[in-house]
Copies of this chain bind each other. A is one copy, B any other.
Amino acid sequence: MTGMSQDKAITLSVDAMGGDQGPEIVAEGLKRFLQADPAASVLLHGPRQRLEPLLAQSGFGDRLQLVHAPDAVAMTDKPSHVMRHGKSTSMWSAIEAVRERRAGACVSCGNTGALMAVAMLRLRKVEGVNRPAIAALWPSRNPQGFNVMLDAGADIRADQDDLLAYAMMGASYARNGLGLERPRIGLLNVGTEEHKGRAELKVAGELIARAAERGAFDYVGFIEGGDIPSDRVDVVVTDGFTGNVALKTGEGTATLISGLLREALMKTALSKLAALLATGSLKRLKTRIDPRQVNGGVFLGLNGTVVKSHGSADATGVAAAMALAARLARSDFSDRLAGRMATIATMQPDAGEEVRA
């Protein structure tokens, strides 16, 4: 997605367990990633006896190191349970390597709630952030091919200050993850007119507009659901409830249309021939909107970068999440974001006064 150099050596911390399809898929994605990125190394966390057979003769030498963790977090485990009893899990171990700066970013396919809970507990929130957020990539009309949306579901609530923090963090992510110098930010609402929507959105809009200069982004104002994949914005800011529903609605719509298109093309002899002739074009389109290519929700607002890969990701998806984590590790994204957020703290008193006035 960006032309950043792959020469810089980085290390990722990868949780081998917790994906729907077991560590085999993670190992397969890992091999593809390491082949494509010769300057990257990986610490792989999980039960040694389970992982060793998968990686025998993988030939990556020092670039791949096993870190033994006997237990795994299940998709059904409650976050609070994992926080209290999860020290021996591969997820915990993978986060710990980022905390101790043995790795520049962490990747996990596991339970999102547990991953966020352990990450908040061990990495701690960055100053100026009350609620961390998950940033998702969305296929779009923009030259970079993707827009950023946050919060995609870390927290079901967000007040005006949280939305301001999301704007700052989203801008920082778009700069370091997508290579956009001055991202355009929109605030998701039910209409673009200034008087529309919830009260906290009006206040958030004013706060974000005022933060634009300091945050090095442009604020385009309210946007609607139809603008999420458009080229009007690069970053979409919303609360985690709305963001999660929008993300899944978009995926569901894309799945419906692809399915109906496939059925339509398989219906008659003529359309089957057409599908055959158009194979190359349809494949390029599929790649363009394939959710696997944009796999990886990035946790924003913590002292350390964590990338959540889809639980159902295949090897292509896992490799894409690792490539995203590597890009963020190379740009020292986490430290840059923390620096940017520190400026919010100094803005806050002013902003509060003006809103009250």
Q: Which residues of A contact B (CB under 8 A)?
A: 139-141, 153, 156, 188, 190, 197-198, 224-230, 238, 240-242, 244-261, 264-265, 267-268, 270-271, 273-278, 280-282, 284-285, 288-289
Contacts and interface: CB of A to CB of B under 8 A. Distances in A.
Given A226-B252, A260-B285, A271-B278, 9 more contacts: A188-B245, A225-B247, A225-B250, A228-B249, A241-B242, A249-B249, A257-B258, A268-B280, A270-B277
Nearest to A139: B256
A241 B190 contact: yes
Oligomer: number of copies: 2
Contacts of A258: 257
Contacts of A278: 264-265, 270-271, 274-275, 278
A249 B251 contact: no
Given A265-B281, A280-B268, A229 B256 contact: yes
Nearest to A199: B156
Contacts of A229: 252-253, 256
Given A139-B256, A229-B252, A250-B253, A261 B285 contact: yes
Contact of A264 (B252, B265, B282): B282
A252 B271 contact: no
Contact of A277 (B228, B271, B281, B285): B271
